[in-house]
A and B are shown apart, each in its own frame.
Chain A
Amino acid sequence: MSAAPARRVWDALARVADPEIPVVNIVEMGIVRDVRVDGERAVVDMTPTFSACPALHVIRDAIAGAVRAEGLTPEVRTVLSPPWTTDWITEEARAKLETYGIAPPAPTGEGTLIQLEMAPPRCPRCGSFDTGIRNTFGSTLCKTLHVCHACGEPFEAFKSL
């Protein structure tokens, strides 16, 4: 066991784009949890963003492919604990999401898992907080649909999970 090959795998995985939001990669999204390299074998722990995310098998295959390209034999494991949270999305990835037009998720708070309303996100185009929700569900499981009352533009926001 040595750190250098694991570092190489982490770097390779940081080049794997999120299949649904290709401006960010799966490492900065917090999907890759651990990498262990033992000789020719690399074990990668990944965690699903949403239980029913249809991109999971695509991500799993992409991880295996990236590991093989490094000359290693991949074993991709899915772990549920601790559960993925949007708090694991890095600052850099949040900035990329906002530039891409998706309002990044707000920090999650504990103790309020069952609540009936959510705080309004900031418009990724003009920065206004004067926004209204149009749909608590969007084009993918991880997003909600909003409209900005200041600039009039519709936009998507990442759910805080």
Chain B
Amino acid sequence: MTDALTPELRLALVERLTALADDELILSHRDAEWVGHAPILEEDIALANIAQDELGHAGVWLSLRSALDGGSDPDTLAFRRGAHEYRCARLVELPRGDWAFTLTRQFLFDAHEAVWTDAARASTYAPLAEAVEKIVREERFHLQHTALWVERLGLGTEESRRRTQAALDELWPLAAQLFAPVPGEDALVAAGIVPDLAALRERWTTLVTAHLRKSGLNVPATPTQEPAPRTEHTEHLADLLREMQEVASQEEEGVLW
């Protein structure tokens, strides 16, 4: 099946899968920073669940990549790459901030992942279509949960609304990067392998805008600037990786226990 892909398509698909995996892996790490610190126990559990799901999805994307790039090892990619080799979006790199920032970011990301995976069910690349068929079923629980939180925070107290609006104002322009194509993506879209990001962006905007307004929040203006390429990161990514890779970096060969 992978033989059907030209080398160019294969390369582009590796780029897209790496972007998907890195977004989930880094966001998962940021969410996991709340374990033991969330405002209430139920939410500690919920966010840990979401982080675990996203980590599982990162594993799925990296396994798909492995079948295309000659057998890379997902653990090695997660724990041995430097910041310049990561392809995550800036949105997921930013420190976790306050509760409103974390949940608003997760909501915007979940809505993106839900529309992307839903559309990718029609992929002509069977391994991708099969994998998203599974992921889309899990994502729906995230979106329900984070949508409720955005509503609760937006319609809550004056302070919760102020914090959520501030988070939205900071995150909104960054979300555009999630819909920016990776090198070679046009050919992938033409071959029906991945969904067209422009169409998804429209669907995403309609979905989140309606919910944000219902939650009493002002939707910021759509950014006109081109988003940064996924090769350029904020200074926060290197710090995050230093912590995430600290144990692995002390063992050249890695250990099993």
Residue B136 at the A interface, CB < 8 A?
Answer: yes
Residue B59 at the A interface, CB < 8 A?
Answer: yes
Q: Mark A72-115, 1 if CB is under 8 A from B, else 0.
A: 00000000111111000000000000000000000000000111
Residue B237 at the A interface, CB < 8 A?
Answer: no
Q: How far is the CA of A84 from the CA of B55 in the complex (A)?
A: 19
| Pick from B46, B55, B56, B118: contact of A137, CB under 8 Å | B46
Looking at B60, B118, B134, B140, which has the most chain A CB atoms within 10 Å of its CB? B134
Residue B131 at the A interface, CB < 8 A?
Answer: yes
Residue A41 at the B interface, CB < 8 A?
Answer: no
With both beta carbons as reference points, the residue of chain A lying nearest to B115 in the complex is identified as A114
Q: For chain B, what secondary structure do more than half of its interface residues adopt (helix, strand, loop), or is it mixed? A: helix
Contact at B56–A50, with CB atoms within 8 Å? yes
Q: How far is the CA of A118 from the CA of B147 in the complex (A)?
A: 13
Residue B186 at the A interface, CB < 8 A?
Answer: no
Q: How far is the CB of B27 from chain A (nearest CB, A)?
A: 13
Q: For chain A, what secondary structure do more than half of its interface residues adopt (helix, strand, loop), or is it mixed? A: loop
A-B CB pair tally, cutoff 8 Å: 82
Contact at B144–A52, with CB atoms within 8 Å? no
With both beta carbons as reference points, the residue of chain B lying nearest to A139 in the complex is identified as B45
Q: How far is the CB of A72 from chain B (nearest CB, A)?
A: 26
Residue A145 at the B interface, CB < 8 A?
Answer: yes
Residue A128 at the B interface, CB < 8 A?
Answer: no
Residue B49 at the A interface, CB < 8 A?
Answer: yes
Contact at A136–B133, with CB atoms within 8 Å? no
| Pick from B118, B138, B145: contact of A50, CB under 8 Å | B138
Q: How far is the CB of B111 from chain A (nearest CB, A)?
A: 9
Give the chain B neighbours of A51 by CB distance below 8 A: 53, 56-57, 59-60, 134-135, 138
Residue A141 at the B interface, CB < 8 A?
Answer: yes
Q: How far is the CB of A16 from chain B (nearest CB, A)?
A: 22
Give the chain B neighbours of A52 by CB distance below 8 A: 52-57, 59
Contact at B138–A137, with CB atoms within 8 Å? no
Q: How far is the CA of A52 from the CA of B60 in the complex (A)?
A: 9
Residue A12 at the B interface, CB < 8 A?
Answer: no
Q: How far is the CB of B122 from chain A (nearest CB, A)?
A: 13
Q: How far is the CA of A117 from the CA of B138 in the complex (A)?
A: 14
Contact at A80–B42, with CB atoms within 8 Å? no
Q: With A113-B118, A114-B140 in contact, is A136–B46 under 8 Å at CB? A: yes
Q: How far is the CA of A48 from the CA of B60 in the complex (A)?
A: 12
Contact at A116–B52, with CB atoms within 8 Å? no
Residues of B bordering A, CB below 8 Å: 42, 45-46, 49-50, 52-57, 59-60, 114-115, 118, 130-131, 133-138, 140-141, 143-145, 147-148, 207, 211
